Amino acid sequence: GSVKKSFFNHNPSFVLSTTESDPALELKDESDGLRFKSPIPDTTYGNDLRENLKRKNVRGASFSFDVDKEGEIITIDEKDNWHREITKATLYEIGPVTDPAYESTEVSLRSVENIVKEIKQRNAPKTDNAAEIRANRGKELSLIDRYLF
């Protein structure tokens, strides 16, 4: 496919990585949405971004894409809330932003300790409580919205 890019604040003057850089931008399509890992270069703007991520001044993520033909499913739930699930899209650029269009997106620096904690949480036992499973369905939709809009 074509080269995907990671910019800070959608600004091509602040390129962080691409799928062809070394180290490369990593993209992973998961059941709850698109995840990315963008190495931050050792440049003035990269160091500024790293500091702002540490301070949590930059916490959102965004991407630019086009929805492919017949690449979305729109549903309406029992409360008349509309949900849009994008099933096929062409991604152009992704990265951290100061002001994301959707507040539920997030981006952060990951330390080794945070990665270990995340792995432990993923491997935690799943529930078989029907009420909890139903409650989590809404969270799944939120996760889809979080990464796909």
Residue-level pLDDT, tens digit, the chain, 149 residues: 699 999 999 999 999 999 999 999 999 988 877 888 999 999 999 999 999 999 989 888 888 888 898 888 888 889 888 888 888 888 999 999 988 876 655 565 554 455 455 555 554 545 555 555 445 444 333 333 333 32
Task: Please list, in sequence order, all residues whose beta carbon lies within 8 angstroms of the beta carbon of residue 57, skipping any fewer than 6 positions away.
Answer: 98
Question: Alpha-carbon distance 128 to 133, whole Å?
Answer: 7
In whole angstroms, what is the distance from residue 94 CA to residue 2 CA?
14
Mind listing the pLDDT tens digit for each residue in 96-127?
998 887 665 556 555 445 545 555 555 454 55
DSSP letters, 90-146, are: EEEEEEEESS-SSTT-------HHHHHHHHHHHTSPPP--HHHHHHHHHHHHHHHHH
CA 28 – CA 147 distance, rounded (Å):
11
